């Protein structure tokens, strides 16, 4: 993978036994851009992953210096964050809980 300091957030989830970590695969920019972008999501409550973090978590091929894929994954992460935020009840800047349906 990317050494002891890469993908720290998902590795921490794995160390705590909260998620299974599959370790990112070898560099394959042709496959990884689509896979990483399409799978960018909330992987744990309040934690949205894309890019290398997601590749490490899901065992996807690493993207390398594929800036188009990084931007697309980041945009999708922002949309996911907006959806998560919209699902929460916020009062005076404090999250109270999930909105009641």
Domains of the chain by start residue, with CATH:
8-98 (3.50.50.60)
pLDDT above 90 covers a percentage of the chain that reads 68
Reported as a single tens digit per residue, the pLDDT across 40-71 is 999 999 999 998 899 999 999 988 777 888 89
The DSSP element (H or E) to which 96 belongs, if any, is: strand 94-98
Q: What is the pLDDT of residue 2?
A: 60
Q: Tell me what pLDDT residue 4 has.
A: 64
Q: What is the DSSP letter of 19?
A: S
Question: Which residue, 61, 55, 69, 64, is CA-closest to 21?
Answer: 55
DSSP 19-34: S-----BS--HHHHHH
Per-residue model confidence as pLDDT tens digits over 68-81 = 888 999 999 999 99
């Amino acid at each position: 993978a990317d050494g002891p300091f890469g993908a720290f957030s998902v590795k921490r989830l794995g160390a705590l036994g909260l998620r299974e970590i599959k370790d990112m695969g070898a560099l394959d920019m042709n496959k990884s851009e689509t896979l990483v972008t399409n799978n960018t999501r909330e992987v744990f409550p309040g934690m949205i992953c894309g890019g290398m973090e997601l590749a490490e978590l899901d065992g996807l091929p690493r993207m390398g210096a594929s800036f188009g894929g990084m931007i697309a994954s980041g945009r999708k992460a922002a949309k996911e964050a907006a959806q998560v935020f919209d699902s929460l009840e916020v009062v005076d800047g404090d999250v109270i809980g999930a909105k009641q349906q």
